[in-house]
Amino acid sequence: MPQANLDPLTDTHSKFFILNSTGIAQVCAFIIVLSGTILVVSGNDAHLLTDRSATSKIISDLLANEEYETALQIADSVKSSDPDNPFGVLLIATVLNSRAIDFEDGEDDIKLEQACNEVENLSLIYFTDKDSSLVYRFYMGTIEMYRMMVQVKRGSYFKAFKGIRRAGKLFDEAVKIDSTFWDAYYGSGVFTYYRSSRAGILRTLHLVSDDRMRGISYIQEAADKGTITALAAQNTLAWIAIEREDYEKSLAISSRLNRKYPDTRAFLWCKGNALRKMERWEEVIIVYNELLKSVQSEQRNNYFNQLGCLHSIAQANTGLENWAEVVENVNQAFALNLNSNVAKRKKADLNRLKKMKTEAIANLENN
């Protein structure tokens, strides 16, 4: 049986773009997307504790229901109730960041950057003892992650790399201030792992230290003990498992998260990728058809994710030698009205789809 092309899809759902190669993109998206409240251990930051019910509602909206407009209304109300506190604006940035990654259309990027700038400006004033504040570092590291992802989408990899370095430094400082501030381990672990995993030949020549296992251990600490990054860390570990070719582990994690949040696309992308790598084609088709229906149900749809779904379904049908279905999948993909930006970002997918159709037609003609 011919093997379907298993090159990674060229979108953030297939993960981690930075410095002209696969890098850190979506994993960092969840830095506080999944947060229930800011709970810190430092007595100096005790006044920053925020209404748990409001942030819990954001969890429900962002993860369980993906109701971003409602989440933004709640975040706005948190901001309005205490306009000098950067937390409300941080929630706004978090909602915008989550939505931007979900829809892949760039519509939220400018507002996201503005929110990040406002968080920074407010934090510089609000945190009177920045040198010892864990929360200050957590806020600033988080917005650097969000800024980084905007730069990645724009192809500004050098700016993105500088941003992720700043974020990693901030999270490292938080861990040094308090070794039990488990949520900071997530950002520090992400930076540590990907700095090593992307070093390539520099790591082989021992010019860059191999800290991948330390990065994984930090992320695992957040997954096990974190208050507001535990779910994010679990999701990240699933993607790292794919990179390390431990597909069974990735599938186990993503399937468990998918069962817990069945209506959430984020975990399905990971599950689908793990199944693709394992060449479990029938299951691939089921997962990506589910994602396809979810994407198509959204009014906001620039076809970026829809094309990605059709690409994966076509791959699976190629692996199953369902040649007529491959032709149908490709025709559906090329019938999409892609704008120039999406077409450019999806160029590799489109080229692979053309090759799959050519192969499928040749097989149909020979049978």
Q: Are residues 251 and 313 in the same domain?
A: no
Whether the per-residue pLDDT at 256 is higher than 90: the answer is yes
The total domain count for the chain is 2
Q: Which pLDDT value is given to residue 17?
A: 27
| CATH number of the domain where residue 51 is located | 1.25.40.10
Q: Which pLDDT value is given to residue 273?
A: 97
Whether the per-residue pLDDT at 9 is higher than 80: the answer is no
By CB neighbour count within 10 A (0-12 exposed, 13-18 middle, 19+ buried), where does 303 fall? buried
Q: Which pLDDT value is given to residue 72?
A: 87
Residues 6+ apart with CB under 8 A from 27: 15, 16, 190, 232, 235, 236, 239
Please give the average per-residue pLDDT across 323-348, as a whole number: 96
The one-letter code for the residue type at 265 is: R
Q: Which pLDDT value is given to residue 47?
A: 38
Q: Are residues 241 and 303 in the same domain?
A: no
Q: Are residues 205 and 337 in the same domain?
A: no
Of residues 70 and 329, more confidently modeled: 329
**pLDDT tens sequence across 110-129:** 999 999 999 999 999 999 98
Please give the average per-residue pLDDT across 241-260, as a whole number: 96
Q: Are residues 344 and 213 in the same domain?
A: no
Q: Are residues 198 and 252 in the same domain?
A: yes
Q: Are residues 334 and 292 in the same domain?
A: yes
Q: Are residues 154 and 199 in the same domain?
A: yes
Domain for residue 12, yes or no?
A: no
Q: Are 36 and 60 in contact (CB under 8 A)?
A: no
Which residue is listed with tokens 């192809």? 155
Q: Which pLDDT value is given to residue 226?
A: 83
Q: Are residues 211 and 324 in the same domain?
A: no
Q: Are residues 40 and 152 in the same domain?
A: yes
**Residue 367's pLDDT band (boundaries 50, 70, 90)?**
confident
**Residue 97's pLDDT band (boundaries 50, 70, 90)?**
confident
Top mean pLDDT of 1-10, 160-169, 196-205 is at: 160-169
Q: Which two tokens stand for residue 190?
A: 């992400």
Decide which of 224, 259, 294 is a domain's last residue.
Answer: 259
Domain for residue 304, yes or no?
A: yes
Domain for residue 275, yes or no?
A: no
pTM value surpassing 0.75: yes
Q: Minimum mean pLDDT among 18-27, 67-76, 94-103, 290-299: which range?
A: 18-27
Q: Which two tokens stand for residue 284?
A: 């691939």
Of residues 349 and 47, more confidently modeled: 349
Q: Are residues 134 and 250 in the same domain?
A: yes
Q: Which pLDDT value is given to residue 84?
A: 94
**pLDDT tens sequence across 37-92:** 333 333 344 334 345 445 645 544 564 567 788 888 888 888 898 899 998 898 88
Domain for residue 347, yes or no?
A: yes
Candidates 171, 225, 241; CA nearest to 15 is 241
Question: What is the overall mean pLDDT for the chain?
Answer: 82
Residue 203 belongs to what domain range?
17-259
Q: Minimum mean pLDDT among 64-78, 193-207, 253-267: which range?
A: 193-207
Top mean pLDDT of 145-159, 195-209, 222-236, 268-282 is at: 268-282
Domain for residue 289, yes or no?
A: yes
Q: Are residues 230 and 362 in the same domain?
A: no
Of residues 323 and 190, more confidently modeled: 323
Please give the average per-residue pLDDT across 273-285, as a whole number: 98
Candidates 92, 175, 110, 114; CA nearest to 141 is 175
Q: Please list the helix, strand and coil fractions of the chain in percent, rounded to the nearest 5, in that order.
A: 70, 0, 25
Decide which of 229, 259, 289 is a domain's last residue.
Answer: 259
Q: Which pLDDT value is given to residue 207?
A: 55
Domain for residue 297, yes or no?
A: yes
Whether the per-residue pLDDT at 261 is higher than 60: the answer is yes
Q: Which pLDDT value is given to residue 99?
A: 87
Q: Which pLDDT value is given to residue 70?
A: 80
Q: Are residues 75 and 200 in the same domain?
A: yes
Of residues 50 and 266, more confidently modeled: 266
Domain for residue 11, yes or no?
A: no
